[in-house]
Structure 1
């Protein structure tokens, strides 16, 4: 059961989404939304509603969407009860369709959402009703649901390997903090680790796109990629999707065998992976270390000695603190 805080946050996300879809947003509302969206939990809640809305495109012409239109009459939303100015017909229709779809999404038995999680150093393989398999890495949380039009996974956090059963009539969608992956049948990794989202392909073809909310400005960066085996892309923070040169991350799915292999990878990414297997916290105490490049092979059962291994190959100092917290600093630096 959702906590009162989560329900309130989802209610806020829903109100903001309807307001933005109305087409009339004041400067004050724009600034208020950007402040609200800057909170990671708020952004995730908003993106979930955005993905539900995008799913309407796949339902065009379907009996389900026709029924939804009839059950969500615009006149029901032509009021100021939302706390915003009246939305007008187009905004009201958007609100009605969205709210109707959210109701169906949450309560219709045929679109039940299943959640799976793993703990520190845990791993789990889930077989879906269509025959697809999802292998969850350590400290991972996913939400899964299926409709007649598509198969959906929300990677809330962590790392997952997907082996998708082919079904041209029902694409397989994976969402991860504003990045959406679309496939018909293939094998690939998706990682959602704090500020970094990464997609790597092992087999087949994968389409990756970045989803932006309507207030984000247009960018000259590439928003869509078509990936093939051995290729990978990532998005760091609020930046654009970027191809990873020389595939500086391990081969998609290799981690399932307990092997962490890196070639010319950022130290920040290696630390993020290590923390999924470490009963504590490893942090970089200096931002300059984040982009340090490392090449190494490590087993997941060696994480306890991982900081010492780094200390032998990099000019760093390892400081152990209470609560099994490890701070890595440039050599010669003392922790604050």
Structure 2
């Protein structure tokens, strides 16, 4: 196989994989391959165009053949490369390199909501899931029962499923659960002796300092402490089973500051709930917005990572893109390809400087 044949084979393979959806590691590998050689970008565009033409056959039916259609296999939709040539300014401004824009556009707009692939969890069995404490490592995992788990940076859980119970231990950090309904197997999350029990609901659990926070976004959970016993209300009165119920829109805080755990429950306004779970990955559609507002949105959703704009003039530069809120690394790479700015990295801080001419 000569070099050109190898490029064709790799481009065809990437076209199929991008269409199916890429994991975080695959996204990085694709970006490295795409930008390594201009021929990679050209051949990838050609392969995508071929697939676009073949997609049209999916709409064909025998009854359509009574009248010849000479345009059946004619290109009906614009290729990615052609679209980028026309809308180059809409991605990151007029001065962004085409290859970099294409690579980032593919990463940000195609298949990025696929959950992280994990092997099925046997019953009985256990597995450990963790998210690295890095710039773009919010992890999304689908457990074998259909439950979706989102781990914030640095979080870790141990999952153990049996025939009668689904048990998750939060080792550290913050995790969101969208629990699949299975009345025969309760879903229980344990955090330092606090049990959060649900049948089918969505809730966020955060372990920090001497307290555990449980925010319920839909459904109902029961929060128990002291080996399954309800935690005493913060007022000091004897606890009841009803005291331990937490409904959608409520936040339960179990404190370990005293000799025995105590729990307080309060209703949280919707805008405050949004701020509390801002780290959850969401698709953000940006249309000709000032860089400052886009950076502010990323900073709000990705603490402790912080992007700083060092030049006030650069803050007003307009950009457009469609990307996932946790894809900070891809967003930074996108900015690195913009000739208007220089990107400086220092740990969890990214500083944007205006490039000086000459």
Structure (1 or 2) with the larger CA radius of gyration: 2
Structure number with higher relative contact order (C-alpha < 8 Å, ≥ 6 residues apart): 2
TM-score normalised to structure 2 length: 0.40
